[in-house]
């Protein structure tokens, strides 16, 4: 094996290994609102969900660092959070996988999330 190949494997390792909170695959409705001057809104579905954040597919170009308000519907309950876009990765269909780190989650919503994920 060539060292370059090994470096590529290390750099392309699964992001879950670097997460503080594990994520589960999930598909729940999420209303995403970008905060600030370039305010926009999109209804999407989660791809992954955890206590520390979520990911969703988007046609909107949410830039890394953008601040978002999120409302996720989970089994008849709504969990609200404020988060920061950690990454935006294009896929083959022209959409972006958006990864969001939660910055603020009300305590009552954090408890709902913990119950659902446990």
Local structure of residue 106 (DSSP, 8 states): -
Residue 91 has pLDDT above 60, yes or no: yes
What is the CATH architecture assignment of 20-117? Beta Barrel (2.40)
Q: Which of 61, 48, 39 is nearest to 21 (CA)?
A: 48
Give per-residue pLDDT as tens, 33-71: 999 888 899 999 999 999 899 999 999 889 999 999 999
Under a CB-based contact definition with an 8 Å cutoff, are residues 46 and 27 in contact?
yes
Domain ranges (residues) in the chain = 20-117
Residue 89 has pLDDT above 90, yes or no: yes
Burial of 28 (0-12, 13-18, 19+ CB in 10 A): middle
Q: Secondary structure of the chain: what % helix, strand, coil (to 5)?
A: 20, 45, 30
Give per-residue pLDDT as tens, 25-40: 678 999 999 998 888 9
Q: What is the pLDDT of residue 26?
A: 75
């Amino acid at each position: 094996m060539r060292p370059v190949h090994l470096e590529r494997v290390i750099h392309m390792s699964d992001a879950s290994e670097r997460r503080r909170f594990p994520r589960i695959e999930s598909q729940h409705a999420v209303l995403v609102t970008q905060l600030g001057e370039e305010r926009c809104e999109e209804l999407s579905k989660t791809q992954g969900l955890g206590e520390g954040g979520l990911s969703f597919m988007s046609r909107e170009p949410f830039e890394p660092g953008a601040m978002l308000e999120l409302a996720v519907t989970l089994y008849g309950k709504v969990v609200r959070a404020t988060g920061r876009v950690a990454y935006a990765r294009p896929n083959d269909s022209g959409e972006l996988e958006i990864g969001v780190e939660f910055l603020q989650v009300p305590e009552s919503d954090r408890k709902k999330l913990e119950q659902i994920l446990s």
